[in-house]
Amino acid sequence: MRSKLLTFTQFTLLLSSLSACHGILDELYDKPSDDVVLKEGQLYVDASSWTDWYYLDLTDVKKGFVRKEIPTEAADAQHYASPPPSEAGGLYTYWYDVFNEGLSKHEFRSFTSTKTQADPESWHIAVHRNNVRTNGGAVYETSYTSMDDLPESSKAFADATFTEDEWNELDVWTVQTQMLQGLIGNQGIPINPVLSSWLKVSLPPIPPTFTLNNHVFIVRFEDGTYAAFQLENYQSPSGTKCCLTINYKYPY
């Protein structure tokens, strides 16, 4: 009896010494900070905001990306139930079949005229989440998946077909307040469909899925200069989507 009591007491003491109040195996996980370490020829921008464009002047990359808010105040305090007769700046609210067939099925719901987007004096590209604009440029998607493999100069793409920015009122998602109803307010603005394909957003499900296209894109600007871009990563170290790490070469 006494030996059993001793065995059992020892066992109880063993139990009480075992607890690990805050858990174990922390080392399995990474604890990245949002301090981004960039390599030569890389740019980083947190473009996760729904309501801002971030502009880059390739002749002054040290300045970094410059933020400009998407205008959302109604120019005439009016909402319109039908789209404007021609491409007009403003917010276009569309219903998307976000829970079933996806973004390809959509219906126009309303239009709110706003002030036009204010651009900086000098810029080459601007990014908003997964969308990219060029300042009068045109883009060609190569089959290269590494900047190192690119031909020496952009002359190799002289005969390629470049695509200019196109009017868009479906993709620059700006207002997300009624997303559960499938309603999203988009900025009506030209974007470059080729360069914007470096990051594809799909719905359903909610939250959306992101697919990175790691091809290198060649951009021809109005002044005849060329640049090469490749999206390296679209997440911040702590996982925020649309924080873009971009490989670039300019002039190319």
- Count of H-run helices and E-run strands, the chain: 1, 18
Stretch that binds another protein, among 4-12, 131-139, 146-154, 221-229 (CB under 8 A): 4-12
Contact status, residue 236 vs residue 34, Cβ threshold 8 Å: yes
Name 147's Cβ contacts closer than 8 Å, sequence gap at least 6.
41, 216, 228, 230, 247, 249
Of 80-88, 128-136, 149-157, 236-244: span binding another protein (CB under 8 A): 236-244
167 binds another protein (CB under 8 A): no
Distance of CA 200 to the CA centre of its chain: 9
What is the x/- site pattern for another protein, positions 178-217, by CB under 8 A? xxxx---x------------------xxxx-xxxx-----
Residue 235 found at the interface with another protein (CB under 8 A): yes
Q: Which of 117, 131, 174, 196 binds another protein (CB under 8 A)?
A: 174
Q: Which helix (H) or strand (E) holds 95?
A: strand 90-97
Q: Per CB under 8 A, does 81 bind another protein?
A: no
Give yes or no for residue 23 binding another protein (CB under 8 A).
yes
Query: Comparing C-alpha atoms, which of 234, 128, 108, 244 is closest to residue 190?
Result: 128
Angle at 204 between CA 193 and CA 173, to 5 degrees: 45
Q: Which residues bind another protein (CB under 8 A)?
A: 3-4, 7-8, 11-12, 14-16, 18-25, 28-32, 50-51, 72-74, 77, 91, 99-102, 112, 174-181, 185, 204-207, 209-212, 232-235, 237-239
